Amino acid sequence: MIEISRRPTGRGPRPGRIHKTIHVRNLSPSAFVLRFTRDGLLFQPGQWINVGLPGSREQREYSIYSGVEEDFLEVLVKEIPDGVVSRALRRCTPGDPVEVEGPNGAFTLVEGTREPPRFLFCATGTGISPFHCFARSKANLDYQILHGIRTGVERYEHDAFDEARLVPCISQGVGAATSYPGRLTSYLKEHPVTPNAYCYLCGNSDMIYEAYSILKKYGVIRSRIYAEVYF
C-alpha cells in the first residue's frame, strides 16, 4: 500500500511568526499567489507552512511556492467560496500582517544517490506548488512534470518550468499544441516510466492512488514513489 502524507485541513491557532504582505498576484478567478516577507525563515524545497491572519482561529497548510534562494516567501492559494482563510488572504494588501508557523513536512527531493536522479513530478491543480519550488530552487534538475488540470485557466505560471519538460494534461477544453488532451493518469498509461525514476505525486487522492498503481506496473518500486495529498 502506498504511504502518503495527509496534511490536516485546518486547526486552531498556534504561536507563529508575523510576516508582512508584499502583494497578492491573481492567477485566475479562483487562484492567487500570496507573497510576504521571508524574515530569515529556512526551509527545504517541498515543505509546507501554516498561514493565517494574526489572532484568527483558523490556519491553513500551504506548500512553499517560492525558491530557497529568494528573499521572500510565496504560497499558491485556491480560494474556496466558503473558505475563511483563503478569502481573508486574498484580501491582504501590502504591509498587512500574516502569521506563519513551520516549515513542516518531508516531501523533499531525494539526495545522495550514486547517479544523478531522474524525477517524474505529477500534480493536479494547486498541487503543482512544491514542484514550482523545486524548479526555482534546483536549476539542474533532470525532471519531467505532468500537470493535470481541467482547463487552460489552471496553467499556474507554467513559465517557471522548462517547456520541454512540462506536459499540461487538460481534461476539459482545448490546450496548446504541447498539451495532452486528457487526464494525467491517461497520459501515464500511454507513456511508460522507467523503473529508476523517482516519482513525486501531489494533488487529489484519486490521481495519487491511480498513478501509484500505474507506476507499480512499470516496475517503479515503492521506495521511489513519494506522495502528498492536498484533497
CATH number for the domain spanning 215: value is 3.40.50.80
Say what the pTM is.
0.91
Count Cβ atoms within 10 A of the Cβ of residue 86 and give its class: 0-12 exposed, 13-18 middle, 19 or more buried: buried
What pairing do the DSSP bridges indicate for beta strands 225-229 and 198-203? parallel
Residue 177 CA to chain centroid, in angstroms? 24
Span 87-144, pLDDT tens digits: 999 999 999 999 999 999 999 999 888 788 999 999 999 999 999 999 999 989 999 9
∠ CA 3-48-171, nearest 5°, is: 70
Q: What local confidence, expressed as pLDDT, does residue 114 receive?
A: 79
Span 148-157, pLDDT tens digits: 999 999 999 9
Q: Which candidate, 104, 73, 77, places its Cα nearest to that of 88?
A: 77
Whether 138 and 222 map to the same domain: the answer is yes
Residue 132 lies in a domain: yes
User: Which pLDDT band holds residue 2 (cuts at 50, 70, 90)?
Assistant: low
Whether 61 and 146 map to the same domain: the answer is no
Contact partners, residue 82, CB within 8 Å, separation at least 6: none
83: containing domain:
5-104
Q: Which candidate, 13, 5, 208, places its Cα nearest to that of 104?
A: 5
Please count the structural domains in the chain.
2
Q: What local confidence, expressed as pLDDT, does residue 1 receive?
A: 45
User: Which pLDDT band holds residue 3 (cuts at 50, 70, 90)?
Assistant: low
